[in-house]
Structure 1
Amino acid sequence: MITNEHIQEFLAQAHRVGDARLTICSSGNLSWRIGEEALVSGTGSWVPSLQAEKVSICNIATGEVKNGVKPSMESGFHLGILRERPDVNVVLHFQSEYATAVACMNKKPTNFNVTAEVPCHVGREIPVIPYYRPGSPELAHAVVEAMKDHNSILLTNHGQVVCGSNFDQVFERAMFFEMACRIIVQSHGDYSVLTPQEIEDLDIYVLGKKTK
């Protein structure tokens, strides 16, 4: 059962995202799995100053709205990811400064592994989704498909999506995603990336696992 404590935690996490300038004004949206339902920031809401009356409660399986609050236009991919990924509890769509600049580049990076934090936390590969109209079924389908086996993606001329098991993991992914893009932009394209062997060493010696 969703309680007031759940709502207050969701608001606090939304405000943290805003305080970090991962979203501004009405950009971006956030969702959180609680049992068979999800809290989703409401359509037109401002994530940095989200209020309880703008939080939608949706059934994950059916998309049915349980409290009369219309969810974000991007709820299609939020709920789709939660349906496809039982390991995921939080989904964040954000539009931070440098990562969104990269999303609008004609020649986008093919490798974001500029520091160890990227393969360790953001993902060794970051799919780039073509532009689809925000809120469209085409965008929702493309995002859900890409997120079946990735935790971070870039949306052309739009923004970014990250997912994870909890709020801290998602926040960390988003922040390191933005950090990598800041390095890429501020280096004016003159940057190096980790080699496959260096990434494999991270898997073994830092994360304690072998590369798939």
Structure 2
Amino acid sequence: MITAEQIEKFIAQAHRVGDAGLTVCSSGNLSWRIGEEALVSGTGSWVPSLTKEKIAVCRVADGEVLNGVKPSMESGFHLGILRERPDVDVVLHFQSPYATAVACMKEIPRNFNVTAEVPCHVGSVIPVIPYFRPGSPELAEQVKAALKDHNSCLLRKHGQVVCGKDFDQAFERAMFFEMACRIIVLSGGRYEVLSQEEIDDLETYILGKKP
């Protein structure tokens, strides 16, 4: 059973996302797995000012709505990611200013590794998904496929998606994603990225992976 405390935690985390400028008005959506169910921000809801009346409770296994609140149009990839990734409990779709500016560039960067935080937290490779209509089955399938073995992706002319084991990890990935894109935009395209050797060095000594 979903508790009142869990609902309040979900609302607080949604407002945190909004306060950080990751979503504006009705842009973006958030989900949180709790056992066999998931809380999903509702269709048309404003994540920065989410209320309990706009939170859908869905069964993860088949997407059935359990409380009569229609979930976000992007619930297809939220629930799909949760089904594919037992290590993930939180999915965030956001549209932060600089990362969305990058998503709308004619030539999207192939490499986002401008600082160590990107490969350490966001991912050394960030899949870029072609434009599909928001809420479409095609978009849901593309996002699910991309996040099957990555933790973030960029949606062309749309926004971004990150996932994590908890709210903090998903939030951290979103914030560092936005930071990297801010560097890319403010540099006017004149930026350097970490070499593969430098990334491997991070994985060995910071992430604790053996060479």
TM-score over 0.5 (shorter chain): yes
Partner of 1:116: 116
Distance 1:81 1:172 in 2: 18
Deviation at 1:174, TM superposition (A): 0.2
* CA deviation profile, 1:74-98 (whole Å, cap 9, x unmatched): 0000000000000000000000000
CA distance in 1, matches of 2:62, 2:92: 20
**1:47 aligned partner:** 47
**Which SS does the other structure have where 1:38 is aligned?**
strand
Following the alignment from structure 1 to structure 2, what is the Cα–Cα distance between the partners of residues 4 and 205?
A: 42
What is the letter of the counterpart of residue 25 of structure 2? C
Q: Give the distance between the partners of 1:156 and 1:206, measured in 2 at CA.
A: 31
Paired residue type of 1:9: K
Aligned-partner SS, 1:2: coil
Aligned CA RMSD, in angstroms, stands at 0.6
**Residues 29 and 40 of structure 1 are in contact (CA less than 8 Å); yes or no, is this contact kept in structure 2?**
yes
Matched, 1:3 2:3: yes
* Distance in 2 of aligned mates of 1:115 and 1:210: 21
Structure 2: give runs of 5+ residues left out of the alignment. Answer: none
Partner of 1:155 in structure 2? Answer: 155
User: 1:97 maps to what in 2?
Assistant: 97
Cα deviation digits, residues 102-137 of structure 1 (max 9, x gap): 000000000000000000000000000000000000
**Aligned letter for 1:169?**
Q
Residues 200 and 210 of structure 1 are in contact (CA less than 8 Å); yes or no, is this contact kept in structure 2? Answer: no
Distance across 2 between alignment mates of 1:152 and 1:186: 22
Structure 2 distance, partners of 1:204, 1:125, is 17
Determine the structure 2 residue equivalent to 1:129. Answer: 129
Match of 1:142 in 2: 142
Corresponding residue number in structure 1 for 2:65: 65
For these two proteins, the number of residue pairs brought into alignment is: 211
| Deviation, structure 1 residue 178 | 0.1
TM-score (norm 1): 0.99
Listed one character per residue, the Cα deviations across residues 10-37 of structure 1 (whole Å, up to 9, x for unaligned) are: 0000000000000000000000000000
| Native 8 Å contact 1:77 1:144 kept in 2 | yes
**TM-fit CA distance, 1:181:** 0.1
In structure 2, the partner of 1:19 is 19
Could you tell me which runs of 5 or more consecutive residues in structure 1 were left unpaired when the two chains were aligned: none
Identical pairs, percent? 77
1:210 deviates by 3.4
**Could you say which residue in structure 2 is the equivalent of 1:106?**
106
Structure 1 Cα separation of the partners of residues 56 and 6 of structure 2: 12
8 Å Cα contact 1:100-1:160 kept in structure 2: yes
Deviations 1:119-160 (A, max 9, x none): 000000000000000000000000000000000000000000
5 Å-filtered alignment, 1:131-210, equals: 131-210=131-210
What is the CA distance between 1:193 and its match in structure 2? 0.2
Separation in structure 1 between the aligned mates of residue 209 and residue 33 of structure 2, nearest angstrom: 28
Amino acid at match of 2:201: D
